[in-house]
Amino acid sequence: MKKLLTLIALSLMCNFGFSQSNIDISGLVTDSNDGLPIPGVNVIIKNTSKGTTTDFDGNYTISNVMAGDVLQFSYVGYLTQEITVSSNSAINVSLSEDVSQLDEVVIVGYGTQKKKEVTGAVSTVNSETIEALKPTRIEQALQGQVAGVNVTSQSGSPGSASDIRIRGISTNGDNRPLILVDGNVVEDLSVVNPSDIESYTVLKDATAGIYGVRAANGVILITTKTGRKESPLKFEYDAYAGFQQTTRKLPVLNATEYALLKNEAAAANGDPLVFNNIQTLGNGTNWQDEVFENALIFNNSITVSGGSKKSTYSFGSSLLTQDGIVGGPKANFTRYTTRANFGTDILENLKLKANLIYSGTVRKTLPENALGSVLFNAVNFRPTTPVYNENGEFSSSVDHPIEVVNPLKQIENTFNRAQVDKLSGVFGLKYDFWNNFSVESNYQWNYSEVRTRNFNPIVEYGNGSVFDNATNRQYVEGEQFFRDYTYDAFINYEKTFNDAHDVKVTLGTSVFKTTGDFYLTVADGLPDTATFNNASISDGTNVTDPYATISNRFFDSRLLSYFARVQYNYKGKYLFSGVLRRDGSTAFGPNNKFGYFPSASFGWVASDESFLENSSVLNFLKFRTSYGILGNDRIPAFGFESLLTGEGVYVFNDQLQFGSAIGAVSNPEIKWEEQKTFDVGLDARFLKNKIEITADYFSRKTDNLLLQVESSRILGTSAPGSANPTLNAGSVRNSGLEFLISYKDKISDNFSFNLSYNVTSLDNEVLSVENQIGYISGGSFGIGQTDVSRMQEGQPIGVFYGYQTNGIFQNQAEVDSHASQSSLGAVPQPGDLRFVDQNNDGVINEDDRTFIGNPIPDATMGLNLTLNYKNFDFQTYFFASIGNDIVRNYDRNDEVTNLTVYALDRWTGPNSTNSTPRITNGATTNNIFSDYFVEDGSFLRAQNMQLGYTFNKDQLEKIKLDNIRFYVSVSNVFTLTKYRGFDPTTSNGAPIGGGFDNGFYPNPRTFLFGTNIKF
């Protein structure tokens, strides 16, 4: 009996063990980010060699697994995941990207490099950041994200451009960085859809030396999205809709306040009162309320991607339309794009890539950012005038200055349209041979057509305005054609010797050519029935071509380059990179057509040393330094030879004949602007890579700046169309510190966060200006005041130049005891601004002008925070600019125009105030450019706040979707600033003359609701 029971027990145990060993496990492995299946994932039983891989659809099956075994799921670029087997036979796994590994590879120009081995100052922005910001223009995603990069808007109107400055302003000319999209030169980023971007890489130091003469202002490399090998066909749909509104309206006087002050101004000059019955005026018309409106914005984009064992493909299309917060649909911007990327392995060692992008934009604009612009008029038009008169027509602008008109009538009578169609392509081949060699050839090209239409109707504003068109109904059509191509060919050698010495050598050549031509047709005398929609050139009674006699209506510019790069590292610890590039440019004469641009960088990965490699706190530490000479050829073409761009008057048969003459005096010795750039920095990671720190010190000195210098008038330089010659005659230096710190952690399975902060300090100094007067002037203020901004030795470029004030004259005794100000155009009286006698000669005149402000910030900062809790995510981004000044230039200061409410604090008698001058219609020096008009432009702005919710994947499987996310976001949430204008980010992009606010079109606050669907 006992033996029988023992046999039965053994039999049950064997059956149980057999059942354990025969569990078959199957499931699906997906990407936690987008829900896409991942083919080729290794699935093994831990501590054994038994395993399998996922198929094309991410499915797997592994047999004979025992309960209690541990399955390991691993794939390159993803975190390995381990799951203990229970009795459940279905195990689905979602793998997360291993960010520390993905960050390892960055684009460095004509190739890639492990981030660990990068020896220069290189920063990246990934697609997740771009998607969170939802920018309408891709440069907006750089602001506050990358230390050392400052992005300012030229306007807040739809489709307006931004100025990108990498580590300061290095030239008095063109400061734009070189921007390459998939290797293709792009000048206008408005035609690029931000949703198509996979990543940015910003080269900020000598690392950019591989691009030679075009690298002095930095390089931005943009990579578009591609498919993934062995992945099924997938669709992604993104859409958002929302509205925009102004963030600020200037506090101006209402009708009653306006009347009181205008009466006071008249009385101060002994004139009769303007308003006799003030009580009936009320608030009057607030013209800002009339011109600002809530404007709509919509965006839709779809992406299709996938890949086979040898090929990848991606297709995307998008449509964006955005109305303006001033003018609504009359200031609309519409962009439509289509993109196709394809890559395939023709042979095991021969790879092909092909990209094609079509983009089209249509933009309508209103007068902005200048005297006479819509917002300038909305601030200055008097509030006692209604929008419409008793006949229902727009009210007259009678009595106003000629550039100030009814802004609503101005909007009504502005008609223009600019359409840009652009086609860009990239075609490349890469061939690997002899184990260690590869050769790569890429052809990139762009073709653009720009068509403009302008219609000038018959309109009179009632004040003899500069905008009046009393008799000539006019229609103008313009066409511009731009073509360029870049051909790159290079050979790579890569080999590791003795498992310690890693050597990479690149030798190559690059050819770049860009051409363009311009056409303009003007039709005057159109019939009364002509409108913007039906106007035609053929309807004009007089048709002219203003470009017919212009010699520079065409351009043709070319570059021929050769480059070599050597990269070496010893055991991944001691790093070196050296570059030499030779560039030839048609922008320079025969004697200086070619230039050489060498650069070198070194790195030391200290954390790999024996004394640090086992540290439990420090995970990574790298020191690096770089030095190089970079060039800048962004100058007007053919400065080395004379062109017939001037105007000449000749006598034939005793008759005056008008024709062409030599324009600017040539300089055959003109040569490159040359920048010597130095950088030293470190990269460190702590506490299991949770904390990351990057710090840099940089110095960039630009020599041989191209300046116009004085020459004898015998050469005819004062004639129409002529100009002084351009010489290499200046130098400027930018130096500063960059610091970035970030902390990321996963607190629990439900909560994680990422916090990063970056700051950049900048010191800009002009070292020399070698013309006869020692400076270059620019900018304008008020009506006819020039030389208000300078480039002068010892000062930052674009420094404001005017009179320094010292309070307000409180009584006649103070006037009498002070230096005479009469030479400025008016005898001062109590209540007027008191100017400082800088040279103590007892007379205030032009010799007493001094430096009164700096448009360049001392420091910029960015703060980025991301929170994830269960299915919710929250992102917010802040940006700050500290130390820059702005000139308030939106006040017309005429006896009819309106004023801001700050005029209520005007001087009214002794000791009433020492900051705001009196109100008067009489002659006064209070409107001369001085530090009274200079304000602190520092600000802190919440760039974006976004809250999203992602549905659980098990809920989506029922409807065959991979991912659905809904979100709400607000951009330009709030701005903290002392500046009293519309927007402290005002900029016109000019190195000399920037920082003047003429009624800057503010960047709108935008409310969006959007969704992202993947299936």
User: For residue 830, which of 807, 843, 818, 814 has the smallest C-alpha distance?
Assistant: 814
Fold of 2-97: Immunoglobulin-like (2.60.40)
Residue range 819-839: average pLDDT?
Answer: 95
CB 353 within 8 Å of CB 343:
yes
Residue 574 tokens, joined: 């001691």
* pLDDT given at position 510: 94
Tell me the residue type at 794. Answer: G
Residue range 299-313: average pLDDT?
Answer: 92
Q: Using only C-alpha atoms, what is the Rg of the chain? A: 33
Q: State pLDDT tens for residues 962-990.
A: 889 999 999 999 999 999 999 998 777 78
- Domain-by-domain residue ranges, the chain? 2-97
Enclosing H/E stretch for 599: strand 594-605
Residue 849 tokens, joined: 């002008």
* pLDDT given at position 92: 87
Residue 167, phi then psi, degrees to nearest 5: 55, 45
Residue 154, phi then psi, degrees to nearest 5: -75, -20
* pLDDT given at position 3: 47
pLDDT at 409 over 90: yes
Residue 830 tokens, joined: 């109590």
Q: State pLDDT tens for residues 43-73.
A: 888 877 788 888 877 888 888 888 888 888 8
pLDDT at 13 over 50: no
CA–centroid distance for 828 within its chain:
46
Is residue 746 helix, strand or coil? strand
* pLDDT given at position 106: 76
* pLDDT given at position 12: 41
pLDDT band at 19 (very low <50, low <70, confident <90, very high): very low
pLDDT at 888 over 90: yes
Instruction: Go through 506-542 and write b for each residue having 16 or more CB atoms within 10 A of its CB, e for each that does not.
Output: bebebebbbebebebbbbbebeeebeeeebeeebbee
Residue range 230-243: average pLDDT?
Answer: 90
What's the rounded Cα separation, in Å, for the pair 934 and 936? Answer: 7
**548 CB contacts (<8 Å, ≥6 apart)?**
none
| Of 130-139, 148-157, 823-832, the least confident | 130-139
* pLDDT given at position 614: 83
What's the rounded Cα separation, in Å, for the pair 740 and 762? Answer: 15
pLDDT at 599 over 60: yes
DSSP state of 904: G
Tell me the residue type at 811. Answer: N
Q: State pLDDT tens for residues 920-957.
A: 999 999 999 999 999 999 999 999 999 999 988 777 87
What's the rounded Cα separation, in Å, for the pair 269 and 536? Answer: 53
Enclosing H/E stretch for 391: none
Residue range 316-334: average pLDDT?
Answer: 95
390 vs 655, residue with greater confidence: 390
Work out the mean pLDDT of the chain and round it to a whole number.
89
- The alpha helices in 595-709, defined as continuous H runs, are none
pLDDT band at 422 (very low <50, low <70, confident <90, very high): very high
Beta bridge partner(s), residue 519: 479
Residue range 477-493: average pLDDT?
Answer: 95
CA–centroid distance for 621 within its chain:
31
pLDDT band at 15 (very low <50, low <70, confident <90, very high): very low
CB 304 within 8 Å of CB 234:
yes
CB 914 within 8 Å of CB 272:
no
pLDDT band at 719 (very low <50, low <70, confident <90, very high): low
Residue range 556-563: average pLDDT?
Answer: 92
Pairing of strands 785-792, 775-781: antiparallel
